[in-house]
Amino acid sequence: MLLNLLIKPGWVVVENVVQDRLGHAAFGTFTALYALTMVLAAVADIGITQHTTKRVAAEPAFLTEYFPTVLPLRAGLNVLFFGIMLGVGWLIGYRGYTLALLALVGSGLLLTQYAQFLRGAVQAHQHFNTDAWLSVLEKALMLGLVLALLPIGITLTNYIGARTVASAFTFVLLYALVARLFGRVPWRPNRQQAREVLRGGLPFALITLLYGLNERVDMVMLERLASAQEAGYYAGAYRWVDAVMMFLWTVLPLFFAKFAHAHQSKEEQRELLWFGQRVTAVPLLLFCAFVLFRGEVLFWQFSNSSPAELARMTLCLKILFVNVLVHGFFVIYSTLLTSTSYERHVSWLVALSIALNVGLNLLLLPRYGAVAGAVNTLVCAVFVSGGYVWLVQNRAGVAVPWAMLARLALTFGLLCAAWYGLQTQLNLHWLAESVVAGVVFVGLLFGTGVVRPAELQPFLKRGG
């Protein structure tokens, strides 16, 4: 986890440099191609990775019995995905060089996904240290190759090529490692086993497809309906959103397991929800306030962008971070629902959000571009979050902590008022201003009752 947390900020910084060198249009094209492959990625897996990991962990003999079928099945699905991906790319207007780039991006993603599938066997056999190193190998290698390209001149073609080489190297290494750990697995497809694995993986595939569409469709539609330039602006802003959201994706699996363990106790679920509400929201209050008042600082590497381009990216960033704030408040409700047998309700809600998003995109993207994409994302986040809260209270039967939500909202409002006062009354460097705002934020947490001194006494005694 520590290695991943170190690699992620490094990759964000390097991608900023890459976008600045390539230009917004070229990078917007790459991001749209990558988003399209991610949207269609569920076709290549159909939930087999999650299903296989679950089965191997519960039944060690599953690997020996089923892998002669699963390996060729997974390879066949890769071929199917590749064909579908190119077909969809051609249908939405990609031709020639751009279609070739889509094929290269898709190849890299296929290799990465196959490597993740093989890692499932490593995880299920408790080789966690090995898996931890494998999880950062591709990112570290990709980072090194891209950094090597910067001094000699980076282009869209060699950038995508470097990413694909990193994926290919990691896949070959992992395949050899799996063969060494578990022996060489022969390919002997069994039709009955293939049907069983596909049926087991379909529920996972549906969720993956829905969430993939919900997160990635904006970029594809923006590049197609507006321009690659607008897609580049959106990508530059969304990169920081993705980095900050890593906090939630790190914390939420812990609550998922806790909620699942407490599925028979509404009282225990309520206590977890009320505690998790603060854990997920509090850090994001400060991050989001920083972006609203000092968001332009995050684009310091874009020396080749005009003031107008930087202003447009900054506006998109601020709108998108209001979306992050909404997730900080309400994504814990989704975790409760999906861990306590309400996956179908959540899937329907996400599907409705996708329909709303696509409709708004068709209406607004051609005229307003990246800013419309950011606004549409926020509208859909508010819609789906309201649905989560309604389901938790009315279907799951768990009390919503309205008083705590009000305290968190009050804390954020007071923080923004204090930050506004710092900007208008004092002429501080942005770093000094942020430190002062951080100190004010800590005081507000105690003042509004979000954090109580009594809750910290056990930790203070332990430290003493």
DSSP structure string for 248-271: HHHHHHHHHHHHHHTTT-HHHHHH
442 within a domain of the structure (yes/no): no
Q: Please, what is the average pLDDT of the chain?
A: 86
Of 54-68, 119-133, 181-195, 205-219, least confident by mean pLDDT is: 119-133
Domain check: are 144 and 243 in the same one? no
My answer on whether 130 and 33 are in the same domain is: yes
Query: Do 340 and 286 have their domain in common?
Result: yes
CA 340 – CA 202 distance, rounded (Å): 19
User: How many CB atoms within 10 Å of residue 242?
Assistant: 16
Would you say residue 371 lies in a domain? Answer: yes
Looking at residue 319, its pLDDT comes to: 97
Query: How many structural domains does the chain have?
Result: 2
pLDDT at residue 382 greater than cutoff 60: yes
Tokens of 205: 């595939």
183 and 235 inside one domain: no
Average pLDDT over residues 339-343: 79
Quote the CA–CA distance of 146 and 155 in Å, as a whole number: 10
Cα 66 to Cα 69: distance, rounded to the nearest angstrom: 5
Do 317 and 348 lie in one domain? The reply is yes
- The pLDDT value recorded for residue 176 is 83
In a domain, 428, yes or no: no
Structural domain includes residue 305 = yes
What is the model's pLDDT at position 299? 95
Residue ending a domain, among 225, 257, 284, is 225
Inside any domain, residue 276: yes
To the nearest whole percent, how much of the chain has pLDDT over 90?
A: 54
| Global confidence as pTM | 0.89
CA distance 404 to 450: 7
**Sign of the CA dihedral with 209 first, then 212, 218, and 223 last:** negative
The model's pLDDT over 148-167, given as tens digits with 9 standing for 90+, comes to: 999 999 999 999 999 999 99
Considering only residues 176 and 288, tell me which one the structure prediction assigns the higher pLDDT: 288
Q: Which of 180, 198, 225 is the last residue of a domain?
A: 225
- Share above pLDDT 70 across residues of the chain, in percent, rounded to a whole number: 88
- Same domain for 195 and 281: no
Domain match, 209 and 347 both = no
| pLDDT per residue as tens digits for the range 246-287 | 888 888 888 887 887 787 888 888 999 999 999 999 999 999
Q: Based on the fold, state whether residues 169 and 242 are members of the same structural domain.
A: no
Residue with tokens 């938790």: 392
Give domain status of residue 238, yes or no: yes
Q: Is 126 left (phi over 0), alpha (psi -120 to 50) or beta?
A: left
240 and 196 fall within a common domain: no
Tokens 């020996």 belong to residue? 64
The answer to whether residue 54 scores a pLDDT higher than 70 is no
Indicate the residue among 384, 401, 418 that finishes a domain: 401
Which range marks the domain in which residue 286 is found? Answer: 230-401
Same domain, 75 and 138: yes
What number is the average pLDDT over the span 176-183?
74
353 in the same domain as 337: yes
Same domain, 239 and 162: no
- Specify if 175 maps to a domain: yes
Does 457 reside within a domain? no
